[in-house]
Homo-oligomer: A and B are copies of this chain.
Amino acid sequence: MTTTENARRNGVDTAALFATIDAVAANREIAEFRFRATNTWISGTHNRSSIHGFHGAGQELTHGREHTYDSDHPAILTGGDQGPTGPEFLLHALAACLTSGIANIAAARGVTLTEVSSTVEGDIDLLGILGLDEGVRNGYSRIAISFRLRGDDADALRDVVERSRARSAVLDVLTNGVPVHIDVDAG
C-alpha cells in the first residue's frame, strides 16, 4: 500500500482514507455513528424527509447543507406522484453504498476506474401490502443489481466489487435484516 498512500486515485484522497482508518484503529470509540432522517407528512401518500445532522467521531456533526427528499405513491397506486416510493429509495441506497465502496476500495488497492454504472431492480408483488394474499410478503422478493465497470483489468475490477459487497452497510442490512423499534406519540 505504500506506493499509493500519497496518491489521489479515482477522486479518492487515499492518504486521508488510510489516516482515517489508522485514527479509528487507535481510538475505536470514534467509530460509533448514528445517522438520522426526519420526515413530515404533507397530504395523502406525499411526505418529505430531511437529512442534515448525524452523530459520529464523538460529536454532533452536520452535512454541509440540509437535504430534503419527497416521497409519494405513483398515480397508478392512487398517489400524487410527487416523488418515488420508499422501496425505490431503498434501491438507490443500495447502489449508492456499493458504488462509494467500490471507489474507495479501488483507490486503496491502486486500481484505476474509468466507469462504474449500475442498474438495480426490485421485484414486489403488491398482493402482500394490499392484504389480498397472506402468503405473499410485503416487501421485495428479490433485488438484482448489475454493475458495469471499466478501468484496470477485469479480474481486479471484479475483486473490487466483491470486496465492496463484503463491506457494504446497506447490503448487510438488506440481506441480513436489522431490528427496527417503533415508538408512537399519539397525543
Contact = CB atoms under 8 A, between A and B. Distances in A.
Interface of A: 10-13, 16-17, 20-21, 24-25, 28, 31-47, 49, 51, 54, 56-57, 61, 63-64, 67, 69, 71-81, 83-104, 107, 113, 115-133, 137-150, 154-155, 157-158, 161, 165, 167-187
Given A92-B71, A115-B41, A122-B34, A169 B185 contact: no
Contacts of A123: 32-34
A111 B12 CA distance: 51
B143 A183 contact: no
Contact of A35 (B63, B91, B149): B91
Give the most central of A33, A43, A145: most B CB within 10 Å: A33
20 contacts: A21-B132, A24-B132, A35-B122, A36-B119, A36-B120, A37-B88, A38-B118, A39-B96, A39-B117, A40-B117, A41-B99, A41-B116, A56-B77, A56-B126, A86-B100, A129-B167, A143-B178, A144-B182, A145-B180, A157-B186
Question: Chain A interface secondary structure, helix, strand, loop or mixed?
Answer: mixed
Contact of A165 (B116, B133, B182): B182
Contacts of A175: 177-180
A98 to B, nearest CB: 8
Contacts of A71: 92-93, 96-97, 99-100
A90 B91 contact: no
A92 B125 contact: no
